[in-house]
Amino acid sequence: MIATYHQYILDFKRPSGTSRGLMTTKETWFIRLEKDNAVGVGECGILRGLSIDYRPDFEEKLKWTCENINFGLEALLRELIEFPSIQFGLETAFKSLENEDQFQLFPSPFTKGFDSIPINGLVWMGSEDFMRAQIKEKIEAGFDCIKLKIGAINFQTELDILKSIRKEFSKSDIELRVDANGAFSKANALEKLKRLSEYQLHSIEQPIKAKQFEAMAQLCEDTPLPIALDEELIGVFSKEEKQKLLQTIKPQYIILKPSLVGGFSGSKQWIDIAEDLNIKWWITSALESNIGLNAVAQWTYTLKNTMPQGLGTGGLFTNNFDSPLIVKNGTLHYDLKQHWKFNL
């Protein structure tokens, strides 16, 4: 088997804002496997300032992985425990290699075009007018679950936006999720959660910064609206650490990004632990190209989770790869009339 890696820079159609700042580009890496005239490809999607494996020796580790590809997948995954994005890329590349169609990783009614995955419509931070325009666009596009990034503009303005949605759409019409990306302080988080809860929200992601275990546990106990852990899961590697974290914090939900938490195997371990503790979960992409999004979506479908998933990011980039993944009426479809165009 021969393995090579390649860098690729994705360009956002418009700057996308979170409480960590504006993004205009996103770097990603691909692993390409060749064996007996078959080709497999996987994406190692990293997010600056968020991925635990965004570190100076990342490319060196990617090179080492390719040079030692014949160790086999299981041995490599153990060696790459601190490099979740490479684990995800490898798992995908091996799946891709073993299938006749390199893009059909987990054949199912979804990949046959018979079924779809409900997803949330993502509203990025920006000016009030920009956020309102995005919400209008998502509702007109048929989304009945909308997720708003909050924490960067005036909090009262964000509340006013939520209030205006609720004036027009009830909880049964539109499910609202918010994501603070750790923007609230320990001192003001509970008060902000109380004010947000007036608008019948489904949940809030990561209200305070990660690794404040006692404060987050207290928030999850006192909160008037469900809390979902996201960044909190990053950099937690062993099964014992995962179990301890969830038992300590007792969140209502966890959100899994395979690129950030150890690929499919790492995510599945989180799911198993969460379910044992009656904690609910959903899956989200991490701004990968359509190669990574395709892998996450196909795998997610096999899990049979009926909640809206966070898989609507394929249309964010000007130079994404053409694929059969299309968003229609708030759901993700695999349209067999569309074809892959991926050349590296």
Give me the active site residues, please. Answer: 149, 257
Beta strands in the chain (DSSP E): 2-18, 21-35, 38-45, 117-118, 121-123, 145-149, 175-179, 203-205, 227-229, 253-256, 280-283, 325-328, 331-334
Burial of 287 (0-12, 13-18, 19+ CB in 10 A): buried
Residue 19 CB contacts under 8 Å (≥ 6 apart), including other chains: 125, 149, 150, 151, 152, 180, 181, 182, 183
**Beta strands at 253-256 and 227-229: parallel, antiparallel or unpaired:** parallel
Distance between CA atoms of 294 and 261, rounded to whole angstroms?
A: 17
The secondary structure of residue 338, as a DSSP letter, is: S
Cβ–Cβ under 8 Å, residues 220 and 252: yes
* Tokens encoding 264: 């499919």
What is the DSSP-derived secondary structure letter of residue 310?
B
d(CA 43, CA 341): 15
The distance in angstroms from the start CA to the end CA of the chain is 18
A 10 A CB-CB count for 127 gives 11
DSSP classification of residue 321? P
CA-to-CA dists, residue 117 to 101, 219, 240, 271, 334, angstroms: 21, 31, 32, 18, 9
Distance CA 258, CA 311 (A): 12
CA dihedral (200, 202, 208, 214) in degrees, to 10, reads 100
HSE at residue 281, side-chain half, CA atoms within 13 A, is 27
